[in-house]
Structure 1
């Protein structure tokens, strides 16, 4: 399907209206998975012409994503990744876990951004960061698209390595589903139960009679409200 390539329009607007010079695009992957961390990439690209074919990672084949991620790592001015573990997601809730992962990514950059572009409509980062949210920013903004591709490839590789490193995790199909819902993943959960890498407050456990007693309840007031991403998780 044809698509419009991302541009620097948002970055130029932020520069013109705020005077910001260093702008980071930020995107996440793993929000709706049943297992594994949520991963955030922060990318600084400047206003240079991006590699051909750059777009939202979900619109690319795995092979093309991997090729493009390798190219982007050499092309971007700077990038860094941050993760929040399943345990942190269970303890904090998804919104706070996303913020934690994003702050880790931003803090790992060699230079502090003057402004941040977040994919989506919700600002999960907040003060003291100067944030602009952009719906479908991973398709329209160069820096966010770059972050989208690098975050997806890195997290997929982490999950594949996890599945190959431990024989007991092979039935869950992490190399293919990256911890997201799938028939293989669901069947393995029903038979074997969750691993230490599964999110134990997620609603998928409600559908597993043999294991639902393992489900945990968040105790913090801030995390008490169930996150929509934790209920279904079909954001492939």
Structure 2
């Protein structure tokens, strides 16, 4: 399916209007999963021409995505990853866990960026960061697209390693997201130590409902409507 390649237009606009020099693109993966961490990548690319074929990680086949990530990790000016574990997601809720992972990624960069382009319409970073939110930024902005690919490949690899320990759950195929095999394994074996126990999938598993964790003011349904 044809698509428009990402550009530096948002970054150029921020540089011109805000007078910033270093802009990081930020994207996450794992928000809608039942198991595993949420992973955020912060990438600084400058204004160089991006590698051919770069776009949102979800629009690239796994094989091409892995090759693109290998190219990007050398091509970007800098990048860093941040994670929030399933336990942190259960304790904090997804918005706060996303903020935690994003701050970890941004603070791990060699140089603190002057501004951030954040994929989506919600500024979950807040605080002292200068942020521009861009809907479908992982398709339209070079730095965000790069962050999208690097984050996806890194998290998928980590989930595949977990899958070797938890064979029935097929994490190497579903990366902890909902799937028929994943649901069937949950029904038979119950959640592992890698599962998010505040998530609403447990409502449909009577045998394991007693394991559900409920935070104050949370309905356990925060995985709905995101990136699976």
Q: Please report the TM-score for the alignment, with normalisation by the length of structure 1.
A: 0.95
The list of structure 1 runs, each at least 4 consecutive aligned residues, that deviate by more than 3 angstroms after superposition, is 225-229
Give the secondary structure class of the aligned counterpart of 1:121.
Answer: coil
Q: For residues 229 and 61 of structure 1, do their structure 2 counterparts lie closer, same or farther at Cα, with a shift above 3 Å needed? A: farther
Give the secondary structure class of the aligned counterpart of 2:49.
Answer: coil
Query: Unaligned regions of 5+ residues in structure 2, if any?
Result: none
- How do 1:105-184 and structure 2 match up within 5 A? 105-164=105-164, 166=165, 169-184=166-181
- Displacement of 1:226 in angstroms is 3.7
1:60 aligns with 2:60: yes
Q: Give the corresponding residue for 1:218.
A: 215
Q: Deviations over 1:167-205 (max 9, x none)?
A: xx1000000000000000000000000000000000000
Separation (CA, whole Å) in 1 of partners of 2:86 and 2:8: 34
Tell me, yes or no, if the aligned pair for 1:118 and 1:133 is still in contact at 8 Å. Answer: yes
1:22 aligns with 2:22: yes
Separation (CA, whole Å) in 2 of partners of 1:225 and 1:112: 33
- Displacement of 1:126 in angstroms is 0.5
- Displacement of 1:235 in angstroms is 2.0
Give the secondary structure class of the aligned counterpart of 2:14.
Answer: helix
- How do 1:79-98 and structure 2 match up within 5 A? 79-98=79-98
Q: Deviations over 1:140-185 (max 9, x none)?
A: 0000000000000000000001111x2xx10000000000000000
Separation (CA, whole Å) in 2 of partners of 1:102 and 1:203: 24
Separation (CA, whole Å) in 1 of partners of 2:37 and 2:122: 20
Query: Unaligned regions of 5+ residues in structure 1, if any?
Result: none
Q: Deviations over 1:97-145 (max 9, x none)?
A: 0000000000000000000000000000002000000000000000000
Tell me, yes or no, if the aligned pair for 2:25 and 2:42 is still in contact at 8 Å. Answer: yes
Q: For residues 3 and 197 of structure 1, do their structure 2 counterparts lie closer, same or farther at Cα, with a shift above 3 Å needed? A: same
Q: Give the corresponding residue for 1:235.
A: 227
Q: Give the corresponding residue for 1:199.
A: 196
Separation (CA, whole Å) in 1 of partners of 2:222 and 2:55: 23
Tell me, yes or no, if the aligned pair for 2:199 and 2:221 is still in contact at 8 Å. Answer: no
Separation (CA, whole Å) in 2 of partners of 1:119 and 1:227: 24
